[in-house]
Amino acid sequence: MNPGNPVINVSKTAAWLKARTRKFKPVAAIIAGSGLANSLPELTDKISIPYSAIPNFPRTTVKGHAGELVFGRLRGKDVVIMRGRFHYYEGRPLSFIAFPVRVLGLLGVKTLIVTAAVGSLKPSLRPGDFLILKDHINFMGANPLMGNYDPLFGDMFPDMNEPYDAALRREALSAARKVKVRASEGVYLAVTGPSYETPTEVKVYRMLGGSVAGMSVVPEVIAARQLKMKVLGVCWISNFTSGISREILDHDDVLKLGEKVSVKMKALLETVLKSDKV
């Protein structure tokens, strides 16, 4: 991938995908987080394309991320799912995280749903709970829009007054009640990872207004808002952060709990996608 030509790379990748998925014009996309392999909506007429086959898409290196794009339909609505995301901590430039989102934009996506496993910064947010994002704090020390601006992607200085769409948040909270899962609204604090937070860092993040901490989501959302996509963020609490619980944090535990919450996440996503707000 040539980082000096973001427009050329995005356009070529989008054209390659369009040529292989001509029957689909996706209006919505989902980026699936850790442990959520079984939470994806049931799509018809599916086409799956591994990242390794897509120009400019590297393989995902994180356990629990399948690494494929899935195109399909849900109640007549064309949808594309990223089964596996890219992370800053994998050693990629943060600017690269904008790349797949921009490809989705050129495919016609107008609504982006991001999901993620997160660590709770508050005792009241328990493992297995859902958090619908209403705002975020970018604590990664950089921005995915730096150094790769082009008018094709939107304004150089995109507005972030409402990063997460209010109408979609209401739909998600309503869907959570229907599937009988504890859900509330909160703020995502994004850190680089891949190490988990120290107890003192957790105290600072909570003082700043964070509800949960995670290592993804925010760069994708910034890129999506530059493209003027509507964004919904649905997180599931995989663990308490350090200092709130004395348990040792382990990624395999995240994946195991993810299997249990996947059924409810799937029902929630399907309900939201059927809405006329998407």
Ranges of each domain in the chain: 6-273
Q: What is the pLDDT of residue 40?
A: 83
Residue 51 annotated as catalytic: no
Q: What is the pLDDT of residue 2?
A: 46
Specify which of 138-142, 177-181, 239-243, 272-276 reaches the highest per-range mean pLDDT.
138-142
DSSP per position, the chain:
--TT-HHHHHHHHHHHHHHH-TT---SEEEEE-TT-TT-S---EEEEEEEGGGSTT-PPP-STT---EEEEEEETTEEEEEEES---GGGT--GGGGHHHHHHHHHTT--EEEEEEEEEESSTTS-TT-EEEEEEEEE-SSS-TTTT---GGG--SS---S-SS-HHHHHHHHHHHHHTT--EEEEEEEE---SSPPPHHHHHHHHHTT-SEEESSSHHHHHHHHHTT-EEEEEEEEEEEPBTTB-SPP-HHHHHHHHHHHHHHHHHHHHHHHTSTT-
Average confidence (pLDDT) over 136-155: 95
pLDDT confidence tier of residue 122, bands split at 50, 70 and 90 = very high
pLDDT score recorded for residue 1: 44
Task: Average the pLDDT over 269-276 and give the result.
Answer: 92
* 239 in catalytic set: yes
Q: Does the pLDDT value for residue 68 go beyond 80?
A: yes
Indicate whether 194 pLDDT > 90: yes
* Residue 216 among the catalytic residues: yes
242 belongs to the catalytic site: no
Selecting among 87, 175, 196, 242, the annotated active-site residue is 87
CATH of domain 6-273: 3.40.50.1580
Average pLDDT on 86-90 reads 91
Is-catalytic flag, 65? yes
61 pLDDT band, cuts 50/70/90, is: low
Active site residue 196: no
Of residues 4 and 19, more confidence is placed in 19
* For the ranges 60-64, 85-89, 177-181, 202-206, the one whose mean pLDDT is highest: 202-206
pLDDT at 35 over 80: no
